[in-house]
Amino acid sequence: MVSKVRARHILVKTESEAFQVLYDVQHGKDFGTVAQEKSLCPSKKQGGDLGWFGRGQMVKEFETAAFALKPGEISKPVKTQFGYHIIKVEEVS
């Protein structure tokens, strides 16, 4: 069972923005670059990189989505109290 993941994310306000971001990264745009340009999270300075985190460290919806992904996979928009996230898992442990 996966105990930790290293992930990046892009946080936007609306679901339509999230789908546009998802389209961009699925069609060749660099995830880190899009994060720097579009994300509302301070992690955008690091290309959306959140580093390693374990279960119980993120809000439930985000955690559920992140732990369901395999390395290299990108989530559909995930709604949390902060907005809509596009998540990319880099590594699992």
**Structure confidence by residue, pLDDT tens digits, 10-22:** 999 999 999 999 9
Q: How many CA atoms lie within 13 A of 29 on its CB side?
A: 15
28-39 pLDDT, tens per residue?
Answer: 999 999 999 999
Q: Provide the number of structural domains found in the chain.
A: 1
pLDDT of res. 86 = 98
pLDDT > 70: what percent of the chain? 100
Question: In which domain, by residue range, is 87 found?
Answer: 4-92
Q: How many CA atoms lie within 13 A of 52 on its CB side?
A: 6
Whether the per-residue pLDDT at 1 is higher than 90: the answer is: no
What sections of 1-93 are H helices per DSSP? 15-26, 31-38, 60-68
Instruction: Kindly report the CATH number assigned to the domain that includes residue 51.
Output: 3.10.50.40
Average pLDDT, the chain: 98
The most distant pair of C-alpha atoms in the chain lies apart, rounded to whole Å, by: 34
